[in-house]
Amino acid sequence: MDKKVMLKKDMKEKQELVNIILDRYLPRKDEYPKTIHKALRYSVFAGGKRLRPYLVLSSYQIYDEEVEKIAPVAAAIEMLHTYTLIHDDMPDLDNDEYRRGKKSTHAIFGEGQALLSGDALLVGAFELITYAEIQPRLRVQMVREMARDCGISGLIGGQMMDLESEGKKVDKKTIDYIHENKTAKLIRMALRFGALAGGAPEAEQKALEEYGGKIGLAFQIIDDLLDIEGDPDEMGKTVGKDAHFKKATYPSVYGMSESRKTSQELISQARDAIAPLGEKAAVLDSLAEYMLNRKS
């Protein structure tokens, strides 16, 4: 079977597993109070690649085939990611009316409801981790690390700098900080959690984390490029050639050519990082190659 076909099949199977966990965890949309439960399910099941949970499951599977054990952690990271999207889209931040080709949560349910939905997903993500069938000490460690990487020294810090940089000319240090903290840290964390739970040897764990950091940064750079050059129908949102002048993006700081070159180098470095793992990391190697050529 073709590598790309195999990758898509594997991604779909793992996506379905994560969706089952999310469906079981989230309250029914007709449960009281209904509005927030409708908003939660609308946001979580609005589509998306489920990339971050896929990375959790794939890195874990290198060491243990029973991915159901770690599935709650994978689903928790997807909840965390969805929380960031809900809040990013709100008028006081990115002010985006569409997400994944559908109306943003605040555009459908209102700003207050969207804010609380994001909060609920963030808090729920910590609870969901505790249901994973892994060692108790690892659950505690993951909760601690997730709080750190999503707080002011991670995701929220990156979002803050992104907000303060809007409409301004930023330097390379600033854009690197934003991309590292808003995107790369969460993707690296997904690889790390899977490797930790799977019992990866320290050297292999570090290799997987390096892979995560490289593809995380590449993912955001490619996103920035697609926002300018991508097909709006495939992207599921409105894009335009001037979009990069409003937000702090890699192309606005480094230029289009340099951004493309950097994304290619990062993907190459990511694949090199996991090369010592050999065939057992073949899925992750294929994913890196696939990401470089993605259209959405």
**Of 45-54, 88-97, 199-208, which one has max mean pLDDT?**
199-208
**pLDDT value of residue 233:** 56
What phi-psi label fits residue 103: left (phi over 0), alpha (psi between -120 and 50 degrees) or beta? beta
Output the average pLDDT for the chain: 92
**Amino acid found at 292:** L
pLDDT score of 241 more than 50: no
Cβ–Cβ contacts within 10 Å for residue 101, how many? 14
What phi-psi label fits residue 199: left (phi over 0), alpha (psi between -120 and 50 degrees) or beta? left
Contact between 44 and 84 (Cβ < 8 Å): no
Domain edges within the chain: 3-292
pLDDT in tens, 212-223: 999 999 999 999
pLDDT in tens, 190-236: 999 999 999 999 999 999 999 999 999 999 999 999 988 866 655 55
Of 145, 240, 223, 187, whose CA–CA distance to 50 is shortest?
A: 187
User: Which residue is associated with the tokens 């903290």?
Assistant: 181
Where would I find the H helices in the chain? Answer: 3-25, 34-44, 51-61, 71-89, 105-109, 111-129, 136-150, 155-165, 172-179, 185-198, 202-229, 232-235, 243-246, 250-254, 256-274, 282-292
Tell me the mean pLDDT in the region 239-264.
79
What phi-psi label fits residue 132: left (phi over 0), alpha (psi between -120 and 50 degrees) or beta? beta
pLDDT score of 71 more than 90: yes
Phi (first) and psi of residue 45, to 5 degrees:
-105, 30
Tell me the mean pLDDT in the region 152-163.
94
% residues pLDDT > 70 (the chain): 94
pTM (2 d.p.): 0.93
pLDDT score of 243 more than 90: no
Contacts of 37 (CB under 8 A, 6+ apart): 26, 27, 28, 29, 30, 31
Instruction: Work out the end-to-end distance of the chain between its first and last CA atoms, rounded to an integer number of angstroms.
Output: 24
pLDDT score of 289 more than 70: yes
- What would you report as the CA-atom Rg of the chain, rounded to the nearest whole angstrom? 18
Of 200, 181, 8, whose CA–CA distance to 84 is shortest?
A: 181
CA–CA dist 75, 55 (Å, integer): 11
* CATH 1.10.600.10 describes domain 3-292: yes
- State CA 42 to chain mean position distance: 18
